[in-house]
Every structure is written in structure tokens, then in C-alpha cells.
Amino acid sequence: MALHYEASRIKARTARPATIAKFKYDIRKSLYCNLVQWVRKEMIYAGQQQNLSIVKTNNTNFGLLNEANSLDKIFKQTKESIVTIIRALPSPTTVSPQTQNTSVLESGFLYDNQGHIITNNHAIGDTKIINLLFENGDRRTAKVIGRDPLDDIAVLKIVENLSRQAQQPKTSLLPSPLIIGNSSNLRIGQPVIAIGNPFGLEETMTAGIVSQTGRLLPGTTSVENFLRVHFPWVAYSMPNVIQTDAPINSGNAGGPLLNLQGQVIGMNTATISHSNGIGFAISSNVISRIVPTLVAKGNYTNPYLGLALDASPSAIAEDYESVPAKLRGVFVNAIEKGGPADKAGIHGSNLDQYYQRHSGDMIVAIDARNVTKAEDFMSYIDGHKTAGDTLNLTLYRDGKMLNLIANLKSWPSLVPYICRPTLNNTKIISVATVFRQYVPLVYA
């Protein structure tokens, strides 16, 4: 019995290492098999992802290629109708090799088959005869037939073809005019294309998106450049301006802002100095309304109300403390004595003996349309009213709602101010001057 027990212990001790070794081997084998299966699965998954990424990359490249082809197509179909405006600068008093025969290049585009060219008013200065250069090399001469300094629009008419024989009509072989689109259909984020001559680099195309619509663009600089007189109190604001991040620089002025159908939805005008991608274009709807009048009459009459709206954020915050929480509108800062707003009974803000500012009327509606910001007010007058029309204004004053009627008149002539520019008897001579934090604009 004892011998059998001892023999069993010896056999067990002899068999245990082999069992343990086999157990360890089985574990290693299992781990190895599992590792191999995991690696295989990961390789298959990685391969699938790689194939998927290749498909995505190919689709992206295909989309970019299509977009590039689309932009190239638009450029080719419109470039012949975009002109380079060559304007000689006034000769300086001291002539040097660097200043002799100095000229600047601006942009414009063909408006119709009668040889009318549209550009910015500030792009041509006070020049009456303009030299034009077309993409095909044709050189033509045009004269200025219409100006609207306030909205910064000018119309030229081709009068001579310098590249053709004299017996040929002056408008012969003109390219097709660009199609004017509807800017009211623009969407934020919609792709747009700007074409012009920035810094003298002819036929330059840049692309971007519509950043915002309905902006107010101070037009003072354009007026001052046209009249060569500084008016600190003139602050006409161009309404319905398109903001874009498509690069707009000096020389782009007057060039078209196009949609992907090649239609003109704006005219490149200005940018904010030292900004990255903040440019402005006059909307095509404004162009469509003003240009026919410039062609027919040579000038455009803007409606005039004679008040200044306060758009200063700090001032508005203070003013809103005195009105009901849910009431929204725009505050009247000042009015012109004897102007349409004054005759209608509108009140502006005032200062007491302690130099504390007290807000004026708050305009909450115009012709039964709610007004929440100055852009709404200006855009409505610009798009729906002319001189001689009436405005039904709903105001909030001292806890009460008032309904007043104002009769718009024509914008006052700037000629008197050319003769005697002075600050002693300043006037507010805009539809609605907007007081804002100063933004340094550069007209392209």
C-alpha cells in the first residue's frame, strides 16, 4: 500500500511538468491564433477604410475638378465683355520720370448692345473721356454720359473705335453684353466670382462666397472724390450692398461680381483696409434701377428724408432701457431743420445742461413693415420710394405710439457746398445718415 502510494506521487511529480508545459503551450497557441485573427481583421478593416478614403479623395478631386472647369468656363464666356478702363492722372506740378504720363487701370463691363459701359463713379474721377481696352486687344474711346456719385455708379458710351477703320461703326464687333441677374435671390454662402484689374494685373479672377447682403456702405468718400471737397457732415450710405470674401483690391472697381451662371449680381466697389476677405459690391438690383435713368437723363435723383439714425451699439443699449422689452426699432439721432422729417414732426435726440444724451423717436415701422435695424429702413426707401413719395412712419415716443406721414423730396444739390465749404452751418443731407464706429473703407 505504501509502495503504491509512493509510486503514485512519483508518477504525479513526473507528469505535472508535462501537463503544465502543455497548458502553457495551449495558452500561447490560443493567444497567437487570436492575435492572428485580430491582425487579419484589422488589416481587412484598414484596407476597407483605405479604399473608402480613396473613393472619398477621388470624389473630392472630381468635385474640385468640376468646380475648376466651371469657373474656367465662366471666365471664358464673360472675359470679352469686361473692359479695362485707362484713366490718366492729373499732371503733378513737378514733373519727373516717375510721375510723367501716370495712369491707373480700373474695371468696367459692357451693359448693352448700344455700347454702354458700367463702372464705379470713383473709378473715373472727374474725367469726361475714357480710354477702354477690350480683352481681344481692341482700343476704344468712351465718354461719360451719366453719373450717380451717391450710389457710386457711372455710365460710359463708346464713341470711337481706335482699332478699326474709320468707316466701320463705332459699336461694330462688340462682344455680347453681360446678363444682369437678380440680387434679391442671393443666399448667404453662395459662390461668387470677381473679375477685374487689381493693381494693374489685367483679367484677374478671384472667387469667394456671399458673406452677407443688405449692408450699408458709407458713400462719403465717393462724393468727396468726385467733388474734390471734404464734407465732414455728408454721410450718405449706399443700401443693399453685397458683402463678399472674394478678394477685391485697388483696380477691381467697376468690375462684375458674378454668380455661377455668369450673371452679374453686383459691381465690385470697396474693401475694408487691412481686412482679410471683407469686400463690397453694389447689388445688381440697384444697378438695374439706376442705370436706365443715367442712360436716359445723365443723372439720378435720390429720395431725401433728412434724418440721421443712430446705429452705435453703446447708444442703442442705453436707449433700449427706456422702451418696452419686446419693442424693436431704430432710433433717430438728429434731423435737418425744415427738412421732410422735421416737417413730419419727427424728434431727434438731445443733450441736457449736464451733457446727458436723451434719445429721440424710435421708428418701429415704415409703411406697416417692421423695422429692426438701419439697414431695413434704408433698403426699403431705396428699393420702393422715389422723390415725391410719402412714408407712413410708426414711432415710439415717451411711452406712446405715433403715426406720422413724411413727404420725401429730392436730394439737395451739393453745388452750394463746393463754393463755401464750412462747418458753421452744417446740414444733414442724406436719406438717413448712420452713425457707426468708424470703419476705414478703401474704394477699389
Report the distance separating Cα 66 and Cα 189, nearest Å.
19
Report CA-CA distances (Å) from 358 to 329, 331, 395, 400, 403: 16, 11, 16, 16, 21
Local mean pLDDT, 10-residue blocks, the chain (444 residues): 47 54 63 58 47 41 57 90 84 52 83 94 88 90 93 92 53 84 93 90 90 81 46 63 91 92 94 83 95 95 85 58 80 86 89 74 92 86 89 92 93 51 32 40 57
The CATH-assigned architecture of domain 183-289 is Beta Barrel (2.40)
Report the distance separating Cα 331 and Cα 373, nearest Å.
9
Asked if the 303-410 domain carries CATH number 2.30.42.10, the reply is yes
Asked whether the beta carbons of 296 and 311 are under 8 A apart, the reply is no
Asked whether the beta carbons of 256 and 266 are under 8 A apart, the reply is yes
Q: What is the reported pTM?
A: 0.72
Q: Domains of the chain: which residue ranges?
A: 183-289, 303-410
